[in-house]
Every structure is written in C-alpha cells, then in structure tokens.
Amino acid sequence: MKEKSNKNVLGRFAPSPTGPLHLGSLVTALASFLDVKSENGKLWLRIEDSDSQRSKPNFIGLIKQQLVDHGIAWDVWPNLAHERAGVIYQSERQHIYSHFLHYLSTLDRTFLCKCTRKSLSRTNHFIEYLESGEKRYPQICRDRKSVCLSKEQTLRFKSTNRDDFVIRRLTTGDFSYAFTVVIDDYLQGVTRVVRGDDLKFTIERNRQVQAILGFPFPTILHVPVVRDSNGRKLSKTDEHSKLRGGKFIKKQITQSWTHLRKNMPSSWIEKVTPTYENYFF
C-alpha cells in the first residue's frame, strides 16, 4: 500500500473508555500535548473503544471533560469539524479496519484459530512467555489448511517472530489494539507517539503490521508509568490515583509535570519546558 508522508508534527492521545482518566493517564496526556505543541504541531484525540466488552460509553464525556478541565486541548480532526467535537471513535471505524484486514489476508498474513484460553492452558505444546508476561501462542492452528468453526474463533497475524497475536475476535467482531492503532496512526498522519513504557512490548507487533502495509514508523517516546509506594502501576481502580476537579486540578497538573521532570530525558524536558510554562502558568 502507498506510504503517506507528512512533514507536520502530529500526535495523538488515545484513551480507552474503560473508566475515567487517572493520574497515570494524565501524565501521558500532558506529555503528548507538550511534545507536539513544543514544535507547533497538532494533537488528535482518539477514543479507543474497539473492545465492546470493556468500553463504557458513559466514560467518554467524562474523559473529554477531564482533559478540558486540566487545560489539555486537542485539535479538531478536519473530517469531523462539525460533529463529535473533532474526535475519532474506533467503534465507528470497523469498515476501515475490515478493509486493511482483507488486504493482509490476501498477502497470506492471517490465519483462523480455534484455540480458546482454556484449551491453550491444557495444551501439551511447550509454552513460552513474552516480555510482557503474556503466553506466546504455540502456533497450533497456523499451518492448518482448514479450521472448524468454534465459538471462540479468532483471526491471528502470521508474525515473523512467532508472536502470532490476535487481530480480530470473530465472536464479537472486535479488532485488537495492536492492529487498530497502526491503521489509525497511519490514516491520521501521526508522526509522534507518546505512551506509557508498559506498552513497549507492542512495538514489534506494530512494526510488523506497519512494514507489511507500507506504513511509515512514527517516532515513539515512552513515559515511565506512575507507580504507587509499593512500586505497582497505578490503575483506574486505585482510589488515590483518581483525578478530582476544582482546586485539585492545578495540583494534579503539577504532579504530572514533576513526574515527567524526574523521569524523562533532560533534552526533552528542556524542549517542552517553555510550552509547559506558557500553557499552564
């Protein structure tokens, strides 16, 4: 497929509406905003609600309001200037993902898999583990000529490093994050991605799909995740990580900036500091 080129600095913040934003996600949002605005770029807001089982529509409005309250303004996606506040929703883009999935299939880079989590837990095949802690799929269905239909059937990507990850769950029709994020980053011309370092393990998956489809590789900057006093990553269910409004907003922005100053490269901090001071002071 033809490669897009874009000289503008374009970034995105792409939360999943499985709950409201918390301090950790605010750190990523702030870093994404500062990264592109320090170079006069644009920041898209994308709602990654492709997981129909976990996404909750009632959190979407709250997430957008939290960003507005904290002074993190996104740029309006041009094709949606008069609707949806210029925000892209993955749940409305199934036809787009299906198009690219079909193309991958014509290249023989996908295969049907009938393995369930339960069957994989009982398999006699040797199980390896990825750096993320996930089990590496043991390629049971990869070279089968036909696969009988089953309730848990999925489409997997034929990888070059034996990490045959799921692209789509046919029972729900949901596409996986590893696939949709590549398509949307390309179509939105994203050149810079800022995300938590807990997602480092997905880079190889992203790169393989991008390479096959002829997409450019965005520059990726990883932000060390925020952890509690016990060293655990903050989650949306942690009471003390929840964002609050009113008088707490300035404190939460300051906390986020302090985390970035302590953990990000000094050259990056030097680049974005004038932008931070301009927008938040």
Return the amino acid letter for 110.
T
Mean pLDDT of 185-210: 93
Spatial distance between the Cα atoms of 175 and 93, rounded to a whole number of angstroms: 10
Dmax (CA) for the chain in angstroms is: 62
Instruction: Give residue 127's pLDDT.
Output: 63
Q: Which two tokens stand for residue 139?
A: 């390629």
Does residue 236 have a pLDDT over 90?
no
pLDDT over 90 (residue 85) = no
Q: Note the pLDDT tens digit of each residue in 257-268.
A: 999 999 999 999
- pTM, full prediction: 0.88
* Domain boundary pick from 125, 140, 175: 175
Interatomic CA distance for residues 43 and 177, integer angstroms: 20
Average pLDDT, the chain: 87
* Residues 88 and 183 occupy one common structural domain: yes
Residues ≥6 apart with Cβ < 8 Å to 248: none
Amino acid in position 179: F
The answer to whether residues 160 and 195 belong to one domain is no
The string over 191-206, giving b where at least 16 C-beta atoms fall within 10 Å of a residue's C-beta and e elsewhere, is bbbbbbeebeebebbb
Residues 55, 125 within the same domain: no
Q: Is residue 81 pLDDT above 60, yes or no?
A: no
Q: Is the pLDDT of residue 128 over 70?
A: no
Q: How far is CA 256 from CA 137, 211, 260, in A?
A: 37, 34, 6
How many domains does the chain divide into? 2
**Structural domain range at position 210:** 10-92+178-280
CATH number of the structural domain spanning residue 227: 3.40.50.620
Pairing of β 166-169 and β 174-175: antiparallel
pLDDT at 146: 55
User: How long a stretch of residues is the chain?
Assistant: 281
Structure tokens belonging to residue 206: 């992203």
Q: What residue type is assigned to position 133 of the chain? A: G
Are residues 201 and 240 part of one domain?
yes
| Residue 202 sits in the same domain as residue 237 | yes
Domain assignment present for residue 111? The answer is yes
Note whether 14 and 47 are same-domain residues. yes
User: For 134-185, what is each residue's pLDDT tens digit?
Assistant: 666 766 777 765 555 555 689 999 988 778 899 999 889 999 999 999 999 9
Q: What strand order describes the sheet that includes 166-169?
A: 110-113, 154-157, 166-169, 174-175
Strand 166-169 versus strand 154-157 pairing type: antiparallel
10 Å Cβ neighbour count for 27? 26
Q: Could you tell me the pLDDT band of residue 200, with boundaries at 50, 70 and 90? A: confident
Domain's final residue, options 175, 191, 215: 175
β-pair partners for 42: 10
pLDDT-derived band at 242 (thresholds 50, 70, 90) equals: confident
Alpha helices in the chain (DSSP H): 23-37, 58-69, 94-106, 117-122, 177-187, 203-213, 248-263, 266-280
Structure confidence at residue 281 (pLDDT) = 75
238: number of Cβ within 10 Å:
15
pLDDT of residue 133: 58
Per-residue pLDDT band for 237 (boundaries 50, 70, 90) equals low
Question: Of 113, 144, 175, which closes a domain?
Answer: 175
